[in-house]
Amino acid sequence: MRSTLFKLFGIPIRAYGLMLVIGFLVGVHRAARIAKKTGIPPERMWDLGLVVLAAGVLGARFVYVILNLKTESLTNFFYLWNGGLSFHGGVAFALLFGWIFLRRVGIPFWKAADIAAPSAAIGYAITRIGCFLNGFCYGAPTPLPWAVRFNDHGYITPPSHPTQLYAAVLNGAIFLILTRLERQNHGHGFLFACYMAMYSVYRFGIEFLRKGYTAQPWILGLTQAQWVSIAIIVVSLIGIRRILSGDQNQR
């Protein structure tokens, strides 16, 4: 693994941070391009992207630390390269502060959320490559030929599932599906609800490979992320059904 890719003027360039920035730039560039076609100024999507990025990273780290106080401490809150981010915590903070920002600039929340959904998927896929290079969020040991041994803070794992790469591939597929759905004319919120549903299905499944290693059982043998995923799937499917029902009523 290569947690530090290289040094620039003596400053270490961390794999996770670099891939996070690349994912952010790719995602927001796409969102800005799509926004222009819908009448939203592209610069507003860049502003929204910065708000969501800051809120998402801080929220993801905050929730992770709070849920893992036995092993984490607020004193190393900003040590992101050591791992420990809660995606669902990041989404919650990003949605809250994104909603506040969009309300202030007068842009409909669900319209912006639909534009941002495919960007979130591709940005997440790219960022997960950084997780792989950093050597965290890996899965259970496996005899499969593509198994990888990770350096987890000095502990060399047995050949294990590279779940970070699975995540990158699956979320890349989600991105492609969303770009197809984007061409359809559905009510506001449809694309975002589809993204949340598909992400949660992926996350629920991949947690079985991480459980007991980089994700711990919580209630009834499921992890915290799996329980949150179940709730999001239910809410998202209800939302999708209502939007599609509204489409049918308008025909």
Q: For the chain, give every domain's residue range.
A: 4-186
State the pairing for strand pair 11-14/151-152: unpaired
Percentage with pLDDT > 90 across the chain: 62
pTM here? 0.88
Other C-beta atoms closer than 10 Å to the C-beta of 91 total 22
In sequence order, which residues have a C-beta less than 8 Å from that of residue 184 and are 6 or more positions away? none
pLDDT at 157 over 90: yes
Cα torsion angle, 150, 155, 156, 160, sign: negative
Percentage with pLDDT > 70 across the chain: 91
Alpha-carbon distance of 45 to 100, in angstroms, equals 14
* DSSP label of 221: T
Which of 167, 224, 222 is closest to 198 using CA atoms? 167
| C-alpha dist (Å) from residue 133 to 1, 2, 137, 148 | 5, 5, 11, 11
pLDDT at 133 over 80: yes
In sequence order, which residues have a C-beta less than 8 Å from that of residue 46 and are 6 or more positions away? 28, 32
Cα torsion angle, 110, 115, 118, 124, sign: negative
Are 22 and 126 in contact, with CB atoms under 8 Å apart? Answer: yes
Alpha-carbon distance of 215 to 68, in angstroms, equals 11
Average the pLDDT over each of 62-71, 97-106, 237-246 and give the range with the smallest value. Answer: 62-71
pLDDT at 23 over 70: yes
Alpha-carbon distance of 108 to 188, in angstroms, equals 9
Q: Is 223 helix (H, G, I), strand (E, B) or coil?
A: strand
Q: Structure tokens of 200? A: 């949660």
**Per-residue pLDDT, 153:** 75
Alpha-carbon distance of 196 to 236, in angstroms, equals 7
Which amino acid is it at 165? L
The pLDDT-based confidence of 50 (bands split at 50, 70, 90) is very high
